[in-house]
Chain A
Amino acid sequence: MPAPTQRRLIFEHIDEPGYTNDLACYQKHGGYAVLRQAVTRKPEELIDEVKKSGLRGRGGAGFPCGVKWGLVDRKSGKPIYLIVNADESEPGTFKDRYIMHQDPHQLIEGTMISCFANNVKQAYIYIRGEMPHGARILEKAIAEARAANFVGPNILGTGYSCEIYVHRGAGAYICGEETGLIESLEGKRANPRIKPPYFPAVLGLYQCPTIVNNVETLCHVKHIAAMGGEAYAKIGTPGNTGTRIFCVSGHVQRPGYYEFEAGRITMGQLINEVCGGPLPGRTFKAVIPGGSSAKILRFGERFKGKRKVGAEMVDYDWGVEDVPMDFDSLAMIGTMGGSGGVIVMDDTVNMVEALANINAFYSHESCGQCTPCREGSLWMKRITTRMVHGQARTEDAALLKGVADQIPGRTICAFGEACSWPTQSFLAKFGDEFKGYAEAKGKNAERANILI
């Protein structure tokens, strides 16, 4: 079946010749018309639209946005904060970068609509420290929006006021975790908070109710407010509504970002047709479907079971290429859609070396608060690095599994899961390669790139 055509909702103007990131250009393309209309409605209606839309968060967890907003404590009398999570740092993910650099007003409009809907008076955009240009572009765009009365006091004469400030991170991946982000915004180390009691919706920034949404999620809110929740829910598939942006990197002919209706494209269509397939003379070996924390898939493996289609249960028997790229299908085969970062590896890659690279990342990024994660991520890195640069032993596979299995479920935040899943899934899918690494080592050196 040929791949569907792209449906660019969020990326409509990305890379469009002549499209600039200033207010004039945005307004020429209908910008802020949705905000103008939204502020004339009741905030509860807007929340209802988002609930009806079925929008799921695009930062990684896929949590329903309407439910998140519904959990906010509105009775405490404390101010409600909204934080835009622009700390895009999941390896393999590079979508928010383009929204912020090329279409910042789309984000600001989505943010302001979300703030109005939730009676937020102060929003912060927490952007990665490594995106200084992005921060400057956003600051300029906010200043333009403020001058045009879309941000700031008495917005469009409604009596509603809301301010947005840009806050820069400083190179720590853990700030993408929402409670770590809140700690960081409070001026502290980004050590995630324990839940309960610190659910951001109740005890977030400055112990006030706080909404943390991903950049792309907030852009979707703008489109939901524009077309209505029901119309939006018709895009994509039930349970996986709207569009999804896939960021494809690694060993394909045409890496890049592609936006499709959610659940309408399979892995095979995406990497073979849209991205042009493997590099000349190579074959696909493995793919990580949703950012580096997602469990790896091995080409050639098959997934069988029953799934719900409409009201019926039907059998499925999929290869990696057949899996629809939506949250639920990917969860069904034991991995996740995550942040949409698809990392493709071909037959030149040795899996021990690839895992050593990922382990070095997690070891570097562990905040160090919980012992199983701090020590476990370090030892997984040490073992895999030693296998590559020192001596590899057959029993290393079991040793690695022993370390990885002791981390998840024993940490304050989901980083424990994120850092152990790569090791667990690489071993489950490519166990032989780990056991036989001592013999295989260095044999592929002229074809392969150094990974660690």
Chain B
Amino acid sequence: MNLKPATLAQIDEVITHYPVKRSATLPLLHLIQEDVGYIPEEAIPWIAAKLELQPINVYEVVTFYPMFRRKPIGRRHIKVCRTLSCALLGGYKTCSALEKEFNTHLGEVSPDGEVTIDFVECLASCGTAPVVMIDDELHEKVDPAKAKQLADQIRADAKRRI
């Protein structure tokens, strides 16, 4: 696990926010996931040592919180809200449209490696349903037509990167 110097600095800084080091478990997991893309196996003992815990204390946290991933995902992470308000306005259709666009299934990396699509629970933007998060960005009122536009945008970004 090779963390960027900036990540290491942020890790040392965030630990100072708490009178008890263990509280920094979630922040450290977030910082490592943002840097590496997922929580690699070696991160667990590393965090435990850093926070003076047992590896099990970190492991049980990683497995409890849905946002932490233990495997790499596609370059972009698409999270489609599944919960009632979004479903009432077509969230499931939006999700299938995106799966079709990228020729993939929920939870898998698309064949081009570009995206992983996940269904997630309520994203707290029910008034602009259906909503989709792409990485850190929230997209509102995503019907199948808008889903196609977003997919085109992701592919255009990918081309630009090459």
Contacts and interface: CB of A to CB of B under 8 A. Distances in A.
Interface of A: 88-94, 96-97, 122, 128-133, 165, 167-173, 184-190, 206, 247-251, 255-257, 292, 341, 343, 345, 349, 354, 357-358, 360-361, 364-365, 367, 449-452
A167 B82 contact: no
A248 B127 CA distance: 6
The 10 A-B residue pairs whose C-beta atoms are closest, nearest first, are: A170-B65, A187-B25, A249-B126, A171-B67, A249-B85, A171-B66, A187-B22, A450-B92, A170-B67, A189-B64
B88 A250 contact: yes
Given A251-B88, A354-B84, A130 B126 contact: no
Nearest to A354: B84
Contacts of A94: 124-127
B145 interface: no
Q: By CB atoms of chain B within 10 A, which of A168, A169, A249, A451 has the most?
A: A249
B84 A357 contact: yes
Contacts of B66: 170-172, 364
A130 B87 contact: no
B27 A451 contact: no
A432 to B, nearest CB: 21
A371 B108 CA distance: 31
Given A130-B133, A187-B22, A187-B24, A451 B121 contact: no
Contact of A349 (B24, B83, B88, B129): B88
B3 interface: no
Given A92-B122, A251-B88, A451-B88, 8 more contacts: A92-B126, A133-B138, A206-B19, A250-B85, A343-B85, A357-B83, A361-B83, A449-B93
A358 B83 CA distance: 7
Contact of B120 (A130, A185, A187, A354): A130
A242 B97 CA distance: 44
Contacts of A450: 87, 92-93
A60 B88 CA distance: 23
Nearest to A422: B84
A107 to B, nearest CB: 15
Contacts of B136: 132-133
Contacts of B128: 255
A130 B120 CA distance: 10
Given A89-B124, A130-B133, A167 B65 contact: no
Contact of A247 (B27, B30, B87, B126): B126
Contacts, number: 154
Contacts of B133: 130
A53 B68 CA distance: 42
Interface residues of B, number: 45
Contact of A92 (B17, B24, B26, B85): B85
Q: By CB atoms of chain B within 10 A, which of A94, A165, A172, A256 has the most?
A: A94
Contact of B124 (A130, A357, A449): A130
Interface string B39-81: 0000000000001000001001100111110000000000100
Contacts of A93: 124, 126
Contacts of B68: 170
A362 to B, nearest CB: 10
A16 B11 CA distance: 37
15 contacts: A97-B124, A131-B124, A133-B138, A165-B17, A170-B68, A184-B26, A187-B22, A250-B88, A343-B88, A345-B88, A361-B82, A361-B121, A449-B89, A449-B92, A450-B93
A375 B91 CA distance: 27
B149 interface: no
B29 interface: yes
Contact of A189 (B61, B87, B89, B120): B61
Nearest to B85: A249
Nearest to A257: B127
Contacts of B29: 170
Contacts of B107: none
Nearest to B128: A255
B22 A360 contact: no
Given A128-B124, A249-B127, A360 B82 contact: yes
A39 B66 CA distance: 41
A3 to B, nearest CB: 18
A93 B84 CA distance: 12
Contacts of A255: 126-129
B88 A91 contact: no
A452 B120 CA distance: 13
Given A170-B67, A292-B84, A91 B23 contact: no
A167 B85 contact: no
A248 B22 CA distance: 39
Contacts of B27: 167-168
